[in-house]
């Protein structure tokens, strides 16, 4: 989520029609595309998706705050009338029964201590009321927070970085990733605190035992010397965005897991298709943990790239990787619920020219018995999206259908799921510009997806290079939306349009001005609807391009609110230097918002110099701190009102 991948080759070899080709064809036939200036018209296409109904919303989605200006300051800034406070930073004790070691500003905490502390690089986040409530309401003052910890920066995690590299440093790195679960409680004044100790406090890391379930569990491709049954694995990595289920479990998603592998032997086609290289990306885990050498353990990578289900209410429960949802760089897993009780999970594959997916459960969920849903995500159908001219279709990734046969190289359903990207290539899905977060409107079930950017559109592939394609080098990204046929999340047909094209209104290149009605932004990433229908947009401009080139005047990364009925966008928050804004959730009453500030202080190389940890930022500890730290912040309206109004 935080990596630009500017130094990597495109790993999708497919020549399926691109999204830009489809968009161009559609607009050209309607006579709308008259050069780059036509971008301003994209937001007003006369589709049935515009003008969403607000019935069923807890409140009307009207934005009521004044925009904050762009910022290059090393602080979090929110609108007048709001206050933001740090709740939980990397290294803070979680209140586990085994101990609560304090964070050491010189990064001298051990691997064992890190396993009892908040993980690094906060990403997706969800609020689980205490006690559990099956109706979507529940307490707004007592809860569990589940927080993803996506990746690591060795220049901050270890006092001397990669120097004196050791097994202990590898284990600390693995323990800094995964998921953090903490208990939180609001005080009488509205302030929030971590409950320490708490029986719910838990860390799930790169070393936590996990189950494998669904069609791929037990298959030959999942078997290793350490687990010949192919039904268990060790750890979860690169936990980016997330999802949740109506029965109160957390879905954490393994995104760029391939970063931690290298291959000292023969490269397989699946290794190549999933981004594994001979050298890896320099994390050096394989030097002391051999399973991360795919040349020696070719099936170990197959055990990563999944959606992992975690029960935060049962701290002794074993996390389970749900293979029915496919294997790729999962950005998240966002639920939508049909009238028949079946669950649909929407997912994006965050790489250039990759795909949008959805999983539809075979069975309805059981509202009256949480445990009865334990295997619901093991049975269902995985689909991949194909965008046509104004409409689209979901293609089943099911063995024996759509050409996914043994003759085509897919020996069974387990093979289809383990090789999800290859299966999507084979059915000719539509390659997209880095599909990231997906949000489902709480009343209409309309679906929005951020396509964060793709600077290689028209460079590494021919699609998008013709004169009628306005975003051949899509450095700013856009947000697409669709409505399923009949409003049914399980439908196989949909209609789509573009909600907004990001950009800078006065950019010298007309093709990069976008059509934003309000405050400018680029590289949209995080996306979430609150219960009032406000669409919250978070940006992830890579530190390799932040404040330079097209982003020279864009300021630090930010969070904005959008009124989907009018298209108006207002800036709500700006972050400290070198950070990404990612992860957002409200309490059920809408009066408290939790937002994650990821990797403050990150350099353009995405790794800090351990000798100068505060070269870019000293947030949140300031002059008294030894290094910048990712953190979850709490935002409240000073008058106690609903956030955003």
Mean pLDDT computed over 86-92: 98
Distance in angstroms (rounded) separating the CA atoms of residues 198 and 443: 36
Burial code (b: 16+ CB inside 10 Å, e: under 16) for 201-227 equals bbbbbbbbebbbbbbbbebebbbbeeb
Task: Render pLDDT for 606-642 as a digit per residue (tens, 0 to 9).
Answer: 999 999 999 999 999 999 999 999 999 999 999 999 9
Burial class (CB in 10 A: 0-12, 13-18, 19+), 131: exposed
Q: Which fold has domain 19-255+305-637?
A: Neuraminidase (2.120.10)
pTM equals 0.94
Burial class (CB in 10 A: 0-12, 13-18, 19+), 491: middle
Confidence of residue 62 (pLDDT cuts 50, 70, 90): confident
- DSSP E strands in 432-563: the ranges are 432-433, 435-440, 447-451, 478-484, 493-501, 517-518, 524-529, 534-539, 558-563
The answer, yes or no, to whether residue 459 has pLDDT greater than 80, is: no
Out of 11-25, 160-174, 308-322, pick the least confident. Answer: 11-25
pLDDT value for 492: 98
The answer, yes or no, to whether residue 135 has pLDDT greater than 90, is: no
Task: Render pLDDT for 207-260 as a digit per residue (tens, 0 to 9).
Answer: 999 999 999 999 999 999 999 999 999 999 999 999 999 999 999 999 999 999
Residue 239 near residue 177 (C-beta atoms within 8 A): yes
Distance in angstroms (rounded) separating the CA atoms of residues 491 and 498: 20
The answer, yes or no, to whether residue 40 has pLDDT greater than 50, is: no
Confidence of residue 106 (pLDDT cuts 50, 70, 90): very high
Burial code (b: 16+ CB inside 10 Å, e: under 16) for 100-117 equals bbebebebebebebbbbb
pLDDT value for 152: 97
Distance in angstroms (rounded) separating the CA atoms of residues 504 and 629: 30
> Chain-centre distance of CA 287, in angstroms?
29
In the chain, domain spans:
19-255+305-637, 256-304
Task: Render pLDDT for 464-494 as a digit per residue (tens, 0 to 9).
Answer: 532 323 377 899 999 999 999 999 999 999 9
pLDDT value for 390: 85
The answer, yes or no, to whether residue 54 has pLDDT greater than 60, is: no
pLDDT value for 31: 35
Cβ neighbours for 369, distance < 8 A, ≥ 6 positions apart:
none
Task: Render pLDDT for 409-423 as a digit per residue (tens, 0 to 9).
Answer: 999 999 999 999 999
The answer, yes or no, to whether residue 32 has pLDDT greater than 50, is: no
pLDDT value for 465: 32
pLDDT value for 629: 98
Q: What element of type H or E holds 451?
A: strand 447-451
The answer, yes or no, to whether residue 33 has pLDDT greater than 80, is: no
For the chain, the C-alpha Rg in angstroms (whole number) is 23
Peptide bond into 611 cis (omega under 30): no
The answer, yes or no, to whether residue 344 has pLDDT greater than 60, is: yes
Residue 299 near residue 223 (C-beta atoms within 8 A): yes
Residue 453 near residue 475 (C-beta atoms within 8 A): yes
Peptide bond into 206 cis (omega under 30): no
> What percentage of the chain exceeds 70 in pLDDT?
90
Confidence of residue 277 (pLDDT cuts 50, 70, 90): very high
Paired with 86 in beta bridges are: 633
Distance in angstroms (rounded) separating the CA atoms of residues 635 and 590: 11
pLDDT value for 449: 96
Q: What element of type H or E holds 26?
A: helix 19-29
């Amino acid at each position: 989520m935080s990596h630009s991948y500017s130094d990597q080759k495109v790993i999708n070899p497919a020549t399926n029609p691109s999204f830009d080709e489809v968009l161009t064809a559609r607009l050209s036939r309607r006579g709308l595309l008259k050069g780059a200036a036509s971008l301003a018209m994209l937001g007003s296409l006369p589709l049935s998706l515009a003008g969403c109904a607000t019935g069923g919303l807890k409140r009307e989605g009207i934005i009521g705050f004044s925009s904050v200006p762009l910022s290059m300051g090393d602080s979090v800034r929110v609108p007048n009338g709001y206050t933001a406070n740090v709740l939980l930073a990397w290294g803070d004790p979680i209140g586990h029964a085994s101990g609560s070691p304090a964070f050491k500003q010189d990064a001298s905490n051990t691997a064992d201590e890190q396993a009892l502390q908040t993980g690094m690089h906060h990403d997706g986040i969800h609020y689980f009321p205490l006690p559990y409530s099956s109706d979507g309401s529940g307490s707004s003052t007592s809860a569990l927070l589940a927080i993803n910890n996506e990746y690591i920066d060795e220049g901050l995690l270890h006092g001397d970085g990669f120097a004196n590299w050791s097994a202990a440093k590898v284990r600390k790195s693995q323990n800094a990733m995964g998921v953090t679960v903490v208990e939180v409680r609001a005080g009488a004044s509205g302030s929030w605190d971590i409950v320490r100790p708490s029986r719910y406090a838990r860390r799930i890391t790169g070393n936590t035992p996990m189950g494998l379930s669904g069609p791929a569990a037990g298959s030959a491709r999942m078997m290793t010397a350490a687990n010949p049954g192919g039904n268990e694995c060790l750890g979860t990595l690169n936990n980016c965005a997330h999802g949740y289920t109506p029965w109160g479990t957390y879905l954490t998603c393994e995104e760029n897991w391939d970063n931690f592998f290298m291959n000292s032997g023969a490269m397989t086609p699946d290794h190549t298709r999933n981004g594994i290289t001979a050298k890896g990306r320099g994390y050096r885990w394989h030097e002391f943990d051999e399973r991360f050498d795919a040349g020696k353990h070719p099936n170990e990578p197959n055990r990563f790239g999944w959606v992992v289900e975690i029960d935060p209410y049962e701290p002794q429960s074993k996390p389970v990787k749900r293979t029915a949802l496919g294997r790729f760089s999962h950005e998240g897993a966002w639920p939508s619920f049909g009238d028949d009780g079946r669950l649909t999970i929407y997912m994006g594959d965050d790489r250039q020219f990759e795909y949008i997916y959805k999983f539809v459960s075979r069975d309805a969920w059981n509202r009256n018995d949480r445990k009865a849903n334990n295997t619901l995500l093991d049975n269902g159908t995985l689909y991949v999206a194909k965008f046509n001219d104004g409409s689209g279709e979901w293609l089943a990734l099911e063995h024996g259908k759509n050409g996914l046969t043994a003759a085509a190289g897919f020996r069974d359903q387990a093979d289809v799921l383990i090789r999800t990207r290859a299966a999507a290539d084979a059915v000719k899905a539509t390659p997209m510009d880095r599909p990231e977060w997906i949000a489902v409107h709480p009343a209409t079930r309309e679906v929005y997806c951020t396509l964060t950017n793709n600077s290689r559109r028209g460079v590494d592939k021919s699609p998008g290079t013709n004169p009628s394609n306005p975003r051949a080098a899509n450095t700013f990204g856009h947000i697409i939306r669709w409505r399923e046929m009949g409003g049914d999340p399980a439908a196989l047909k949909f209609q789509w349009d573009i909600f907004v094209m990001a950009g800078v209104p006065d950019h010298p290149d007309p093709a990069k001005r976008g059509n934003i009605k309000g405050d400018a932004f680029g590289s949209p990433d995080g996306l979430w609807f609150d219960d009032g229908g406000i669409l919250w947009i978070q940006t992830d401009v890579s530190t390799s391009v932040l404040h330079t080139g097209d982003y020279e005047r864009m300021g630090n990364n930010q969070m904005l609110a959008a009124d989907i009925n009018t298209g108006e966008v207002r800036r709500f928050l700006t972050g400290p230097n070198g950070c990404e804004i990612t992860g957002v959730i409200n309490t059920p009453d809408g009066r408290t918002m939790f937002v994650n500030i990821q990797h403050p202080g990150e350099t353009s190389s995405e790794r800090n110099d351990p000798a100068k940890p505060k070269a870019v930022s000293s947030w949140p500890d300031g002059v008294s701190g030894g290094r910048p730290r990712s953190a979850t912040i709490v935002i409240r309206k000073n008058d106690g009102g609903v956030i955003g109004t």
